[in-house]
Amino acid sequence: MRIFCPATVANVNCGFDSLGFALEGIGDEMVFRKTTDKGVTITKITGDDLPMEAHNNVAGVAGNAMLEDIQADFGVAIEIYKKIRCGSGIGSSSASAAGAVYGINQLLDEPLSNLELTRYAMKGEALASGNEHADNVAPCIYGGTTLVTGYSPLKIIALPPMETVYVGILHPHITIKTKEAREILPKTVPLADAIKQSQHLAGFVASLYEWDKELFTESIQDVLVEPHRKQLIPHFDEIRTISKENQCIAFGISGSGPSMFCLAFAKAHIDSYLAKSVALYQENGLQVDSYSSRISGTGCHII
């Protein structure tokens, strides 16, 4: 069985560790074979230099947590075809963790719910980032845009689709480790900033239910995390200016970076933003990848 696991954008500025969406056409592939030997065996990885031992691999950790818990009488051999670069900020580790549990679920007689799958995928995410957050693995499994409303117990809401939104992803070739990008964040925040951020997240959610474009645009802002992380990303403020000059409606760090996401109501705005941003990085001698995408309504799926 071969599956596709989409790349994802986490945080979306106003929902740190809570909001995320799945991307269309950007993602990894994984192949599953049922084995009589129990547990996960990783038999092949292409596209990146990652550990083959299951206990050191996010797919192995997530898959084994699930297989052990449900006392499966079979195991799986997994091949991983990485297309999402590790440390890029568009959910590379999450795609492998979510893909592993999604794939195993397809082999069960009584499949688990998306919520239960997310819980197991978070175990893999913890290996990569040192923290069990679900803002990448949830949209990777559910598709669309998801909101984590609680971690203990885990609660996830699938938000209404934003069908007329186009997404640009810019990935400058520097590596930012999620663990390190989390360590630089302050442990406490000023009350005024907490209020502002709550208003942004509430405004974002309300805008989706009402499809209020103006409220949507005003709400995708980050006063809590971006001020601390943006210095990790070269030319961040210049790229933001380019996004505004090209009529894009939102711009920010994708997950823990270095990728940046940009949203627009027209594909032409995204394409000209990407072309100008790529040119800026190239003029400064930095390699960069760019993708023009949309929000995918589908998470992991069999291909």
Which residues ranging from 112 to 171 are in contact with ligand HSE (CB under 6 A)? 129, 133, 135-136
Closest among 262, 179, 183 to 228, alpha carbons compared:
183
164 noted as active-site residue: no
In the list 255, 290, 292, 293, the residue contacting ligand HSE (rule: CB under 6 A) is 255
Interface mask toward ligand HSE for 169-198; x: CB under 6 A: ---------x--xx----------------
226 noted as active-site residue: no
Ramachandran area for residue 188 (φ above 0: left; ψ -120 to 50: alpha; else beta):
beta
Q: Which residue is nearest to ligand HSE (CB)?
A: 255
Of the listed pieces 9-17, 114-122, 146-154, 240-248, which binds ligand HSE according to CB under 6 A? Answer: 9-17
Q: Which C-beta is closer to ligand HSE: that of 11 or that of 272?
A: 11
Q: Which C-beta is closer to ligand HSE: that of 121 or that of 181?
A: 181
Q: How many CB atoms lie within 10 A of CB 204?
A: 25
Tell me the HSE value of 228 on the side-chain side, using a 13 A CA sphere. 14
Strand bridging mode 145-151 / 166-172: unpaired
Q: Determine, following the binding rule CB under 6 A, whether residue 256 of this chain makes contact with ligand HSE.
A: yes
List C-alpha distances in Å: 190 to 76, 93, 199, 229.
48, 32, 15, 17
Q: Which C-beta is closer to ligand HSE: that of 133 or that of 269?
A: 133
- DSSP summary character for residue 266: S
Name residue 294's beta-bridge partners.
166
User: Residues in the site for ligand HSE, rule: CB under 6 A?
Assistant: 10-11, 16-17, 129, 133, 135-136, 178, 181-182, 255-256
Task: Report, as residue numbers or ranges, the catalytic residues.
Answer: 125, 178
